[in-house]
Amino acid sequence: LLMLGIETSCDDTAAAVVRGDGEILSQAISSQSDLLVKWGGVAPKMAEEAHALAIDQVVQKALDDANVSESDLSAVAVTIGPGLSLCLRVGVHKARKIAKVFGLPIVGVHHMEAHALVSRLVNKDLNYPFLALLISGGHNLLVLAQNLGEYVQLGTTIDDAIGEAYDKAARWLGLDIRKGGGPALEELALEGDPNSINFTVPLRQHKDCNFSYAGLKTQVRLTIESRNLCTDDIPISSATEEDRQLRANIAASFQRIAVLHLEDRCQRAVEWALKMKPSIKNFVVSGGVASNQYVRTRLNHIAEKNGLQLVSPPPSLCTDNGVMIAWTGIEHFVAGRFEDPPPADEPDDMQYDLRPRWPLGEEYSEGRSVSR
Ligand code: ATP
Ligand code: FE
């Protein structure tokens, strides 16, 4: 079984070829980091153009590096949501074109499910049910994975995701964000005192598993504005020694509280999940922010404290990639969940089934029973 996976939901154009047994034959990616630096975020129209420019090359590279051609493939998997419609469309168009010409089945993939399931490629002993924390630029999800395609959402963000907070804080601290705001802030935080600034931990009064990062973001902004030294129009490379230390202190303090909020909610989610499914053995942490070493260490502690094994993919599989799409495609394909090849006369300008907003499973409310 050979699966091509295509991902264009946000700012990375990615493709990969993965074999049925989980062997990664190739992975190709083209990032829009220059656009992100310039526009301060993902501008849908620009992102769409960048995907359209990159997609053919990225897919070709994935096929070449895997040393296969389209006719060797068993099927094509592609992200159909959640994400920006304009961007999703580029990937779906490409996937359907290949599938049409070579008569291949298609698997429409949920981007966040793929962030979770790539852990099963990495760790073959990861069985259902498991608890997963998915932390990225646009999502902050706690889910109980009961089975393939069966998720109960224990918590989500009521405003921003943690990755968004890292990205904004990094920008406001004047960091070099060409390789991403998260990694830049993580690096600077190593130089700072995490206890120097008292940010408030979000939602401590709310005894649920939801998240909030908008307030913490504002606290960082206000702290930066209240200190005369530190301003975002002076890049950190030209900051004085004293200014650099202050920025590092803000970064470290922000990171400590941002992650403490994750720890709070995960501890509660573990308790909820074990009550529903006492057989849970694993705690999966994935999505771009899961590539952060401090995050991994702190959450490993939560897992161990509760007798669970932390499973977190290597950083390159935590951030957006084609492998996770191909692998999730394989899981669904093997379970018989796929679409027939598109008809030969499918028009190029057709309305595809895109799902820009697509919840991952049902929301959990206390008192509601979950099948054991
Ligand atoms: P979503 O998955 O919600 O659709 P996305 O696909 O844009 O969003 P990912 O690629 O999964 O997000 O993750 C990107 C996010 O991860 C960015 O916000 C980035 O700053 C963050 N990130 C990446 N590396 C780190 C790190 N080392 N520390 C903190 N955050 C990080
Ligand atoms: Fe993502």
Helix (H), strand (E) counts: the chain: 11, 11
Q: What is the pLDDT of residue 245?
A: 96
Please give the distance, rounded to the nearest whole angstrom, from the Cα atom of residue 226 to the centre of ligand 2: 34
Please give the distance, rounded to the nearest whole angstrom, from the Cα atom of residue 11 to the centre of ligand 2: 9
pLDDT higher than 50, residue 372: no
Mutate to test the pocket of ligand 1, among 37, 115, 136 (most ligand atoms within 8 A of CB): 136
Strands 106-110 and 130-135, by their bridges, are: unpaired
- Helix, strand or coil, per DSSP, at residue 184: helix
Helix (H) or strand (E) holding 362: strand 362-363
Question: Which residue's alpha carbon is nearest to atom 25 within ligand 1?
Answer: 182
Of 218-232, 236-250, 278-292, 314-328, least confident by mean pLDDT is: 218-232
Please give the distance, rounded to the nearest whole angstrom, from the Cα atom of residue 329 to the centre of ligand 2: 16
Q: What is the pLDDT of residue 298?
A: 98
What is the per-residue pLDDT across 314-370, written as a single tens digit (0 to 9) for each?
Answer: 999 999 999 999 999 999 999 999 999 999 999 988 899 999 999 999 998 764 545
Residue 284 bridge partners (DSSP): 132, 311
Protein residues with CB under 6 Å of any ligand 1 atom: 9-10, 83, 111, 136-139, 163, 166-167, 180-183, 186, 287-289, 291-292, 319-320
What is the per-residue pLDDT across 61-112, written as a single tens digit (0 to 9) for each?
Answer: 999 999 999 999 999 999 999 999 999 999 999 999 999 999 999 999 999 9
Strand order in the sheet with 106-110: 24-31, 12-19, 2-7, 75-81, 106-110
Ligand 1 atom closest to the Cα of residue 287 is 11
Q: Output the pTM of the full model.
A: 0.96
Q: What is the pLDDT of residue 58?
A: 98
Interval 47-64 mean pLDDT:
97
Please give the distance, rounded to the nearest whole angstrom, from the Cα atom of residue 319 to the centre of ligand 2: 6
Q: What is the pLDDT of residue 41?
A: 73
Mutate to test the pocket of ligand 1, among 33, 134, 166, 188 (most ligand atoms within 8 A of CB): 166
Q: What is the pLDDT of residue 368?
A: 54
Please give the distance, rounded to the nearest whole angstrom, from the Cα atom of residue 194 to the centre of ligand 1: 22
Token pair belonging to 175: 């960091």
Q: Classify burial at 214, counting beta carbons within 10 Å of its beta carbon; exposed 0-12, middle 13-18, buried 19 or more.
A: middle
Q: How many residues does the chain have?
A: 372
What sign has the CA pseudo-torsion 166, 135, 369, 149? positive
Ligand 1 atom closest to the Cα of residue 319 is 10
Q: Classify burial at 130, counting beta carbons within 10 Å of its beta carbon; exposed 0-12, middle 13-18, buried 19 or more.
A: buried
Q: What is the pLDDT of residue 149?
A: 97
Q: What is the pLDDT of residue 237?
A: 92
Interval 152-160 mean pLDDT:
98
Of 27-36, 121-130, 294-303, least confident by mean pLDDT is: 27-36
Sequence-distant (6+) residues with CB within 8 A of 210 are 155, 156, 157, 158, 203, 265
Question: DSSP readout, 17-75?
Answer: EEETTS-EEEEEEEE-HHHHHHHSS--HHHHHHHHHHHHHHHHHHHHHHHT--GGG-SE
pLDDT higher than 60, residue 273: yes
Please give the distance, rounded to the nearest whole angstrom, from the Cα atom of residue 63 to the centre of ligand 2: 22
Q: Classify burial at 350, counting beta carbons within 10 Å of its beta carbon; exposed 0-12, middle 13-18, buried 19 or more.
A: exposed
Question: Which residue's alpha carbon is nearest to atom 13 within ligand 1?
Answer: 288
Percent of the chain scoring above 90 in pLDDT: 90
Interval 216-224 mean pLDDT:
97
pLDDT higher than 80, residue 231: no
Q: What is the pLDDT of residue 120?
A: 98
Q: Are 166 and 258 in contact (CB under 8 A)?
A: yes
Please give the distance, rounded to the nearest whole angstrom, from the Cα atom of residue 246 to the centre of ligand 2: 31
Token pair belonging to 189: 């935080």
